[in-house]
Chains A and B, each alone.
Chain A
Amino acid sequence: MTEQQMAFYVDLAACSGCKACQIACKDKNDLDVGIMWRRVVEYVGGDWTRSGDAWVSTVYAYSVTVSCLHCEDAPCATACPSSALVKRDDGVVLIDESRCIGCRYCEWSCPYGALQFDGDTGKMTKCDFCADYLDEGKDPACVASCPMRAMDYGPLDELRERYGDLAEVAPLPDPSISRPAVVFGPHPDSRAGASTSGRIGNLEEV
């Protein structure tokens, strides 16, 4: 049991999909192409129909920025045969790369694709919630980067008090799988997690 659970908040009504957060993360952590601890998924749906000369659109789109969500029931920690994945007291899930044997079991256990393999080192890598910044009292790089001010972070119970408890949103998996430490503010068009009305619009980017 952790004392506290650090969590992310994302206002989906404000996230533009600009990826400042993704690049801020890559820069801070010096991640090569191929490793993205934070990714931004575009969910799109709707159709075009003709009405006389005009086009009528029911098209909608929104973006979901997603990193490791430092799940309360972190399945990665259970999947790792060498106990390389640990949850800190503040709920942050860290990987001890010295213990990682590169078997990549955790990769398949994480519903969010947060664990990513570094082909150069043969180790798994993941978002550490900018634990060094947290320890210094500084905001995580991604949160502090957002030009839309769509992100926030803090103890999960506080975020829920402030923003509600929405964690289920398409195209993310069912939160009951791992109890992710995240709260979303809904986009006017955001769909429930189980919705299949749309699709990931930028598959090659995530």
Chain B
Amino acid sequence: MSDATQTENLLTETLLSRRSFVKMSAAVGGTAALAGGGVKYGLEWANRSAAAQGETTVVPTGCAHNCGGRCAIRAWVEDGRVTRIETDQRPDTFEDPQLRACMRGRSNRKRLYHPDRLKYPMKRVGERGSGEFERISWDEALDTVAEEMTRIKEEYGPESMYRNYATGGGSTMRGSINATRLMNLFGGQLNSYNNYSWAAAQWATPYSLGTQLSGSSRDDWVNSKFILAWGFNPAEMIFGTNTQHYLKEAQRAGAKIIVIDPRMTMTASAIADEWIPIRPGTDNALMDAMAYVMITEGLHDQDFLDTYTIGFDEDHMPDGIPPGNSYRSYVMGEGEDATPKTPEWAESITLIPRDRIIRLAREFAMTKPAALIQGTGMNRRAYGEQPVRGGINLAAMTGNIGINGGWASGMGLCERGISVGGFPGGENPVEAAIPVYLWTEAIVRGTEMGPEDGLVGVDRLPSNIKFVYNCGGNCLVNQHGDINKTVEILKDTSLCEFIVVHEHFMNASAKFADILLPAAMDLEQDDLATTWAWGESLISFSKAVEPLYEARTDYDICADLAERLGIGEEFTEGKTQEEWVREAVEVTEETYDDFPGYETWREEGIYVAKFDEPFVAFKDFREDPEEHPLETPSGKIEIFSEAIWDLDREGLPAVAQYVPEWEGGPWDPLYEKYPLSCMGSHYQRRSHSTFDEIPWLDEAMPQRLFMSTVDAESRGIEDGDLVRIFNDRGEVRIAVRVTPRLVPGLVDLPQGGWWEPDEDGVDIGGSVNTLTSLKTTPGAFGNAQHTALVEVEKA
């Protein structure tokens, strides 16, 4: 584009491509419905909207997938068809901002009427995973599932029954909770702990702070003067409806915002004042060097550390720990490794210039109050526990904990939320639990697993997993690690003998079902939802249209199964889904004087709990640490954790610190073969793997391998080229987007693309999990899916 005028940029480039596209569309025009249906030309102008004719009712409902947000949807319904999706129509204020749906939420109509929706129950007729199915009746489908559940439970016991992790639905009556309740009432199931999002953060945060709920409320961010959004990217991955809005408002109120991220995210380009690119997986090296600068320049808050923490220096260590193990000793090179964590040291690891590290440390230490808000991508890496506790160290060193405008770092979920009931999952008589990421391991060698694999509740499992209920999620294949290995395990029907799946589409998980059941979508049922991050609002979902085709709600399906299993009455307690919703809201009604009542809330669609002032996490502790100690063993912030020390595990130091990753960089021998680090970011156009099927969103943001200009150039790769991305675990073939928005050495294959193997097993759909590993983090046994080395070549 060197000497082209900007007029030509837009005019020629975009119009030429558009012209050629339209020709194609005209050629296949017969299949596309006429836009606007009953549009009448000859009006003053052609109003193309599908809802322009006839009586329209507006049904309040919501979008509840797993982005963390839950947004208001107002579905326009005409003649039993959804014709338009609007979002929140209430006044938009800072105190009570509209719950505006994003591009995904606004696409829900296209999801509902997608031609590829699963329409009727099916049974597998080909090899498992072949995608060959045959239509059957609901009766046959449910009879088969009930028979298999009975047979397998009797033969192998309840520990062989497993409800797979599933978060495609995020509402109260979501599929996963229905399956859980069914299996618990039917005699129990193998438990799992952790999740695919923040296993390491959930594990690590309490070691330092005694709780996972280390976050303040978002309306407090406007009180910050400096915000370090460390791998925190709400503009793309949402993290609670309006989180990006609150962050922007903080900037408008005067906070300087710096994003530290290997990608120049939308948060970096549209919210932050500055972006500091970092080599992925080296966050602790930056943290340690910042600590070094603070200590050597005397910028840390020694009073705060002395009063509120243990383990910062040798004077504040638990008894019996040999000298040299405090954070200060580690940072200053007075510990075992005898390496001072200087900015020079960190520069070669993080790829951030040393001067920038020094400036950042000073700025963060000297601007008060400051908030170091962590994203959770870092916790899905090889040593994901470390950055979580490392961030807390910096928050403590700067005394930013327990005050307005500060932030304790760590997991960051907030204690404050709206009170509401739920749909009970029931009591599980089985004690045994596995780390969620190791369920494929438990299919292959469950009975051999022990505490070293994170098994808890029992010494040994009596059985491997033999039955999987996958209800409303894509972790059976697409979102689990190392897909090629996973499908090899699943294909063997002598291992896991039966798999039942509820789905909307024929995605990778659906293909591995033995019985595949078509589930209803949010627009087709009564429900409710709150956000998971800062759940201050309660969104009512009213059924906009009847379930299409033969689709049924997860609740109805499980209720019918329960009936067949002889636990029908226990499952439903005689209630309809809507009655469960009504019951869930009773506690809200009792708690809030201004709750308008069930019926009015259903009509209005939204209730937001009001609070007088921002919530500040650890405020009591800050004000009086004797009276309000933390729930850690010492009652203080544990920079050094004796409990972790006692675990004595490789890669799990008692003070958070930089641990070089396997498949992390040049220090791993694999780097010679696979010199690019590969991550799977949260792509705005999907919520994990949900919405991958929407053509509007594919047009808006197609699945691509994002590659830095530097790495593309050295490989002779140009924007738009078809490339091979591969390692020992698999190969993906997809078009590349060459962009300067990535740190060199990193490629990003946004997670959630639908796995689609060609005849050679090459994934042409672009699921990052074709390349990820099944290794786990040392503390939590959590997934480390962002740590992977690959090479990229022109295909």
Contacts and interface: CB of A to CB of B under 8 A. Distances in A.
Nearest to B7: A173
A201 B236 CA distance: 17
B611 interface: no
Nearest to B745: A55
A22 B11 contact: no
A173 B8 CA distance: 8
Contact of A34 (B18, B100, B720, B740): B18
A13 B22 CA distance: 33
Interface stretch (A1-9, A114-122, A159-167): A114-122
Given A54-B351, A97-B41, A113-B10, A31 B35 contact: yes
Interface stretch (B134-142, B265-273, B364-372): B265-273
Nearest to B711: A48
A101 interface: no
Nearest to A44: B740
B45 A23 contact: no
B576 interface: no
Contacts of B101: 20, 145
A59 interface: yes
Interface in B240-284: 242, 244-245, 248, 264, 266-267, 269-271, 273, 275, 277
A205 B348 CA distance: 37
B245 A148 contact: yes
A63 B270 contact: yes
Given A18-B102, A28-B84, A113-B15, A59 B740 contact: yes
A121 B50 CA distance: 15
Contacts of A123: 46
A31 B21 CA distance: 14
A30 interface: yes
Contact of A145 (B41, B106, B235, B244): B106
A57 to B, nearest CB: 6
Most buried by B among A14, A54, A60, A62: A54
B22 A14 contact: no
Interface string A92-113: 0011111000000001100111
A47 B740 contact: yes
B485 interface: no
Nearest to A41: B10
Interface in B1-41: 1-7, 9-11, 13-15, 17-19, 21-27, 29, 32, 34-37, 41
A150 to B, nearest CB: 8
Contacts of A148: 235, 244-245, 248, 270
Contacts of B235: 16, 18, 148
Question: What is the size category of the interface that chain B forms with chain A?
Answer: 35 or more
Contacts of A132: 47, 49, 52
Contact of B266 (A17, A59, A200, A204): A17
A170 B103 contact: no
A136 interface: no
Given A16-B266, A147-B242, A148-B245, A119 B25 contact: yes
A172 interface: yes
Nearest to B3: A196
A34 B25 contact: yes
A30 B48 contact: yes
B17 A204 contact: yes
Interface string A53-79: 111110111110000000000000000
B476 to A, nearest CB: 29
B14 A196 contact: no
A15 B347 CA distance: 32
Given A63-B269, A120-B25, A121-B35, A53 B50 contact: no
Nearest to A92: B45
Contact of B347 (A33, A54, A120): A54
B739 A131 contact: no
B34 A121 contact: yes
A100 to B, nearest CB: 9
Contacts of B23: 119
B106 A55 contact: no
B10 A118 contact: no
Interface in A134-149: 141, 144-149
Interface string B749-790: 000000000000000000000000000000000000000000
A23 B740 contact: no
Contact of A62 (B245, B270, B354, B737): B270
Interface stretch (B197-205, B305-313, B697-705): B697-705
A30 B50 contact: yes
B702 A23 contact: no
Contacts of A53: 347-348, 351
Contact of B45 (A14, A19, A96, A203): A96
Contacts of B269: 16-17, 60-63
Contacts of B11: 111, 113, 173
Contacts of B87: 24, 144-145
Given A20-B100, A33-B695, A119 B270 contact: no
Contact of B7 (A19, A47, A54, A111): A111
B92 interface: yes
Contacts of B25: 32-34, 119-120
B17 A147 contact: no
Interface in B689-736: 695-702, 708-710, 719-720
B355 to A, nearest CB: 9
B741 A20 contact: no
A199 B4 CA distance: 10
B348 A196 contact: no
Nearest to A174: B7
9 contacts: A20-B106, A23-B700, A28-B84, A33-B695, A48-B744, A60-B269, A61-B264, A173-B6, A200-B10
Interface of A: 13-20, 22-24, 26-36, 39-41, 44-48, 51-57, 59-63, 94-98, 107-108, 111-113, 116-121, 123, 125, 128, 131-132, 141, 144-150, 170-174, 177, 187-188, 193-196, 199-206
Given A19-B684, A111-B10, 10 more contacts: A23-B700, A30-B49, A48-B744, A51-B353, A98-B46, A123-B46, A148-B245, A196-B3, A196-B6, A204-B17
Interface of B: 1-7, 9-11, 13-15, 17-19, 21-27, 29, 32, 34-37, 41-50, 52, 83-87, 92, 100-103, 106-107, 109-110, 235-236, 242, 244-245, 248, 264, 266-267, 269-271, 273, 275, 277, 347-348, 350-354, 684-685, 695-702, 708-710, 719-720, 737, 739-741, 743-744
